[in-house]
Amino acid sequence: MTRTLTIPRPDDWHLHLRDGAMLQGVLPETARHFARAIVMPNLVPPVVTAADAAAYRSRILAALPAGMTFEPLMTLYLTEGTEPADVVAAARSGLVKAVKLYPAGATTNSHGGVRDLDRVRGVLEAMAEAGLPLCVHGEVTTAEVDIFDREAVFIDTVLDPLRARVPGLRVVMEHITTRQGVDYARSVPQGLAATITTHHLIINRNHILVGGIKPHYYCLPVAKREEHRLALREAATSGDARFFLGTDSAPHIDALKEHACGCAGCFTATNTMPLLAHVFEEMGALDRLEGFASRNGPAFYGLPVNDATLTLVKRDSATQWPAKIETGAGPVTVFDPGFPVFWDVAG
């Protein structure tokens, strides 16, 4: 039985760090285990220009505790006023690694997102020419579409037509949650990848709703039926290089999660790597964790695999992590898988 596993230091290809006191509180939780992360731009106000991204990157690095190493990979928030020249210049400078498409109203701080894709076609064409990936929050937001069907409808009515109109555009389907998302990612031979979160490998919609509402399991895209969770597990552990880790770790203070209109997001930065080791071992695929967490993402983004390593150890007693992270903004609850986990990060 495998008791230790050493892999190149992993990266997180979808991460929310927020800003200010929250940033200072949660950044160490990611930097402890991850070398790099694609940092989401949905601040208030959002990170729209190269200047915004440079300023935000400086704030992240200023918040990094002494002795920790971490590289934030910056993104721009796509709006209908985004200038193609600014995006291309930011990409060529090396500052920006991707542009994020939020359909307006899809998730936290997405009200400034795109309503009409025709208005951003010039930006998308410039991105295709520059080789800059588009990260998509893959849900439609029209009221008549059931929330559990939003991802599948987005693939059929938005993503597939978009890729046909801008065929050279490289796309990351972020935080896929459905069998349809897995199947679509596999149907495209190149230029498209998909991230999968830690929590969507562990919970289905029953975890949110059965026995009372569990606000700390509420996320967007919302967890789906068990058949979809199983499809995600199979994809993540398959060894297919089109799938890689994007935690979508999303901190909100408890007062805003445990609220009449609670915020969406699961905070998994603290315990993602032990949880992934547990899942991959359950699936008989512990040898494929390295690809999912450390190699597939860099390959898609054209970056080197990290030289540093991370070692996971399986212990005899269950691993303990804090129930909450105390930040200057307030307490943030750490994702609870609901079962004992015996894997831990060494050191």
Residues recognised as catalytic? 248
Q: State the virtual CA torsion across 158, 195, 18, 347 in degrees, nearest 10.
A: 180
What is the CB neighbour count within 10 angstroms for residue 88?
18
- Name the nearest CA neighbour of 71 among 35, 107, 102, 103: 35
| 195 in Cβ contact with 177 (< 8 Å) | no
Cβ contacts of 121 within 8 Å, gap of 6 or more:
165, 166
The number of CA neighbours under 13 Å toward the Cβ of 277 is 24
